[in-house]
Structure 1
Amino acid sequence: MARLVDNPNLAFRLARAIISDIALYNQEKVKEGIKNDNIFELLEEELQEGREHFHSRVAADMPERDHLYDRAMVDVMIRQAGKIESTIW
């Protein structure tokens, strides 16, 4: 069995990679979700699957483990969508 990530910096990099993949493979949902301010509802299944994958690779006792994943969602998916016209900006 692979060793779990126990370094917050590496865990954040992993979270960013997972979110990048989700955004890449769901570009239309990201656009629609930003435009209509329902991105988390549209991508709920994909984001939950990504979180489960993240949890399977990161030590459970890492402080703020979920915060790292949530921050990656904002840093990667939401920030990159800043050019999409929306009422939320």
Structure 2
Amino acid sequence: MARVVDNPQIAFRLARAIVSDVALYNQSKVKEGIENDTIFDLLNEELQEGREHFLTRVSPEIDNRDQLFDRAIVDIMIKQAGKIKSPIW
């Protein structure tokens, strides 16, 4: 069994890695979701699965661990999609 992460920086890196995998394996959904402002609807299942995996690997003792995963979504999936034409920017 994988060890539980109790360091916030490592937890954030783990969140970024999980979100990066979701984005990599769902590139067409990311593009469509950014273009149509439906990214969270289109990737709901994948992001929820990623979040559940993250939460099983990260200690509940880490402050704001849910926000770490949300921040990773913005950093990895949203900011990097800035070149995609979208009504959201």
Question: Given the two structures, how large is their TM-score scaled by the length of structure 2?
Answer: 0.97
State the partner residue of 1:52: 52
Between the aligned partners of 1:87 and 1:72, the Cα distance in structure 2 is 22
Between the aligned partners of 2:76 and 2:48, the Cα distance in structure 1 is 16
State the partner residue of 1:32: 32
Between the aligned partners of 1:35 and 1:83, the Cα distance in structure 2 is 10
Cα RMSD (Å) of the superposition?
A: 0.7
1:37, distance to aligned residue in structure 2 (A): 0.3
State the partner residue of 1:5: 5
Question: Given the two structures, how large is their TM-score scaled by the length of structure 1?
Answer: 0.97
1:11-26 alignment runs, 5 A limit = 11-26=11-26
Deviations 1:39-77 (A, max 9, x none): 001000000000000001000121000000000000000
Q: Specify the SS of the correspondent of 2:82.
A: helix
1:39-78 alignment runs, 5 A limit = 39-78=39-78
For this pair of structures, how many residues does the alignment match?
89
